[in-house]
Chain A
């Protein structure tokens, strides 16, 4: 038994191998800690397991469409995947959850998690974001400010490789950038128009984790724009292409796939967590693993479920939940369905290669007195992309020879814009466990109860109108928007259910992402977020993870 325990004992355990778990594994192993990385899904070897990456369109029987069988298996994931990448998205019928109100929980249960399929947009938070809660009273104050994170943003950006342009915007700080992905003719036209028509906003190159130049043996990007299949050229950042490989190189990493963490084991005498119980996803056997430090990076909702399921006499409401905030304050960015328009000019311009990036209009509302908005607080940014219409987007007249001519001719220029806005932390938006209904491993189902509030809805309305106006002013025609409201969860930016804060009475984590109640448990995935900002959040998770790891390593060796 002792031998068994020794074999199952590590310096650190990291739960989850997605974008933040990958970073935790890399930092802890490079810091000299023997680390066990637990992943509930199957293993995915970089490149080898990107089975569709090099397939041609005609090699997919249904082209990119999902079949009715696929839709039955993935009724929720189907909005975010297609036949070319569905294997990186869970089958909902195997992994059910309960929606009190409609909420899309988009998941990738495999080594690398959703870092394989993420949108790759990377924007720093600024003090406009870190001070927001304190200023307007929603949620609790962040226990950190931009200065605490700035060097860690530098650190992770330098490693990840982010293409972008320095813009000197106070509310969207510049970072360590590779050359930006340039704008095409229509995007440049829109950029110029926006600069002329507006004093409060600009269009910048989207900041994306695609390598415009080679980095550490990875890349460069081949401009296929097929990222979500996994990149055989390592052209974008994922755990698989980067952090996990470097963690392996240290010799300190043990990766165990198919390992579902059931709970964290708490030792009341030592007042700390001593390990985790896993269920082998295949054999369903329960196994205990022990460690001095535990990082939870299972993704917001899953991490929260683990905490809530870790019930002990000391923590009857879930591990580290003396504040009763665990599971509450769920946020996801509010998105509108998008606005588009066509442009008659620039017909002599085209492009070669497919950009995996976007253009970006950073937040331009409520930055200062001049940009104060009376409909909502906080704000949103707009991402967009221009292209010439083609067979997938054009409306065709007639058939026969004339149709063939229309097919082979590049169509009009078209731009699509989509807003992304901040969601306010609200105690009522929450995750709980359904103890009546269990999954196939006997674990309680997650219940998600989330609704947009009036601030989010006002913002959604505003982003649509503003996008239409931007295009109209730039001479676009047929300007319109898709009016259907997307379900919450659509941005795949769940955050906030184990928030950081100064006060253990109102928050779960301290300024080092350490649980107030259980000091050797760290949480650095989206659940730590005290507010959501409007920026894509992965970069902030990565910076926060690297920072927390340094702190944890220092304490490990000083004790």
Chain B
């Protein structure tokens, strides 16, 4: 995603082939293995996205139907490696929940949910070389996928784009230099 946005915008269509590596990678990886396994974890995914992007003064990810996007993306767009990582991540998380708190994630308290995700976040939130190598060969980790898709799903949802960010579909003009107002929100699209 980072590669893509950093370069894609500059040169437009005829520009640099920013997704080329992804494209080729997918070709070799996507022997369609057993898919359609995520629907069974729908309730868990709903809870997860709403912990990552909770309702505050603006709606949270659940209301933005981010869970639907995540399932659609993972089922139809993800590589085999990442599908497996994601599915196993959901199963492992529930297991950890049961072992630690004696209940599934959905029924955990808010602080327990937070603690669980902090653990996942910390164990993967390193930017080191090892992480990069892992991402390249093993696919992104469960939590990285979950967080990335939640952010993307939310910011491109009607609610996320229009309520939490500033969505201007037809600017009509380009003011190249403006003064940033206090509390001015980031543009939803680039």
Which residues of A pack against B, CB within 8 Å? 54, 56-58, 61-63, 65-69, 71-72, 75-76, 78-82, 85, 104, 114, 117-121, 181-185, 187-188, 221-225, 227-228, 335-338, 340, 347-356, 358, 383-385, 387-388, 390-393, 395-401, 403-404, 407-411, 414, 416-418, 482, 484, 486-487, 490-493, 536
A79-B18, A80-B17, A353-B171 known; A384 and B10 CB under 8 Å?
Answer: yes
Contact of A400 among B11, B54, B78 (CB under 8 A): B54
Say yes or no: A350 contacts B179, CB within 8 Å: yes
Write out, one digit per residue, whether chain B residues 52-94 have a CB within 8 A of any chain A CB (1) or not (0).
Answer: 1110101000000000010011001110000000000000000
Q: With A78-B19, A183-B176 in contact, is A352–B171 under 8 Å at CB? A: yes
Per the bound structure, the CA–CA distance linking A76 and B27 in Å amounts to 10
| Shortest beta-carbon distance from B86 to chain A in Å | 14
Say yes or no: A222 contacts B172, CB within 8 Å. yes
**Cross-chain contact B30 with A185 (CB below 8 angstroms):** no
Q: Min CB distance, B146 to chain A, in Å?
A: 9
Q: Please give 6 more A-B residue pairs, beta carbons under 8 A apart, in addition to A75-B23, A78-B26, A400-B114.
A: A63-B69, A79-B20, A81-B13, A85-B13, A407-B165, A410-B186
Shortest CB distance B172–A (Å): 5
User: Chain A residues with Cβ under 8 A from B69's Cβ?
Assistant: 61-63
Q: Which B residues are in CB contact (< 8 Å) with A340?
A: 6-7
Instruction: Say how far B34's CB is from chain A's closest CB, in angstroms.
Output: 14
Alpha-carbon distance between A78 and B170 when the two chains are bound, in angstroms: 27
A128 CA / B188 CA spacing, docked (Å): 43
**Nearest CB of chain B from residue A222's CB, rounded to whole Å:** 5
Q: Contact check, A387 vs B9: say whether CB atoms are below 8 A apart.
A: yes
Which residues does chain A contribute within 8 Å of B22, judged by CB atoms?
78
Once the chains are docked, how many angstroms separate the CA of A119 from the CA of B168?
23
- For B109-149 the 0/1 string (1 means CB < 8 A from A) is 00000100100010001010000000000000000000100
Give the size category of B's interface with A.
35 or more
The answer to whether B14 and A119 touch across the interface, beta carbons within 8 angstroms, is yes
Q: With the chains together, A550 CA to B184 CA distance in Å?
A: 55
Is B164 a contact partner of A78 (Cβ separation < 8 A)? no
Given A56-B158, A62-B76, A398-B121, A391:B186 Cβ within 8 A: yes
Q: Which residue of B lies closest to A78 (CB)?
A: B23
B54 touches A401 (CB 8 A): yes
Asked if B151 and A349 sit within 8 Å, CB to CB, the answer is: no
- Do B186 and A493 touch across chains, with their CB atoms under 8 A apart? no
| Assembly CA distance A411 to B188 (angstroms) | 12
Other-chain contact of B10, A76, A383, A401 (Cβ < 8 Å) = A383
Dominant SS at the A interface?
loop
Contact between chains at B178 and A407 (CB < 8 Å):
no
A residues within 8 A CB of B156?
Answer: 57-58, 63
Given A62-B73, A75-B23, A352–B175 Cβ distance below 8 Å? yes
Check A350–B16 contact: CB distance below 8 A: no
| Given A227-B12, A349-B179, A393-B6, CB of A71 within 8 Å of CB of B23 | yes
CB pair B180 A354 closer than 8 Å: no
A228 pairs with B180, CB closer than 8 A: no
In angstroms, Cα B120 to Cα A235, docked, is 47
**Chain B residues whose C-beta falls within 8 Å of the C-beta of A223 in the assembled complex:** 171-174
CB of B178 within 8 A of CB of A490, answer no
Instruction: Check: B155 CB closer than 8 A to any chain A CB.
Output: yes
* A222 B153 Cβ-Cβ under 8 A: no
Task: Identify the closest chain B residue to A337 (Cβ).
Answer: B16
**Cα distance A414–B76 in the bound complex, in angstroms:** 32
Q: With A and B bound together, what is the CA distance between A183 and B176 in angstroms?
A: 6
Is B10's CB under 8 angstroms from A58's CB? no
- Given A227-B12, A392-B1, answer yes or no on A399-B190 (Cβ-Cβ < 8 Å): no
Interface contact A355-B30, CB-CB below 8 Å: no
7 contacting pairs across A/B (C-beta < 8 A): A349-B178, A351-B176, A358-B10, A388-B186, A393-B6, A404-B53, A482-B6
- Distance (Å) between the CB of B55 and the closest chain A CB? 9
Closest to B5 in A: A392
A486 touches B179 (CB 8 A): no
Query: How many Å lie between the Cα of A169 and that of B7 in the bound state?
Result: 27
The reply to whether the CB of B185 lies closer than 8 angstroms to some CB of chain A is yes
> Given A80-B17, A391-B155, A407-B164, does the pair A416, B10 have CB atoms closer than 8 Å?
yes
B152 within 8 A of A: yes
Residues of chain A contacted by B185 (CB below 8 angstroms): 408-409
* Assembled-state Cα–Cα distance A223/B52 (Å): 32
